[in-house]
Amino acid sequence: QVQLVESGGGSVQAGGSLRVSCAASGRTISRNCMGWFRQTAGEERERVAAVYSDGSTSYADSVRGRFTLSIDNAKNTVYLQMNSLKPEDTAMYYCAASFAPSSWQCERKRQRAEFAYWGQGTQVTISS
State pLDDT tens for residues 14-72.
999 999 999 999 888 888 999 999 999 999 999 999 999 999 999 999 999 999 999 99
Q: What is the pLDDT of residues 97-122, one digit of tens each?
A: 999 999 999 999 999 999 999 999 99
State the pLDDT at residue 29.
81
Assess contact for 120 and 22: CB atoms under 8 A.
no
- Under DSSP, is residue 128 helix (H, G, I), strand (E, B) or coil? coil
- Which pLDDT band, with edges at 50, 70 and 90, does 128 fall under? very high
Q: Where are the beta strands (DSSP E) in the chain?
A: 3-7, 10-13, 18-25, 32-39, 46-52, 57-59, 67-72, 77-82, 91-99, 117-118, 122-127
Q: How far apart are CA 12 and CA 94, in angstroms?
A: 18
Amino acid found at 18: L
State the pLDDT at residue 66.
98
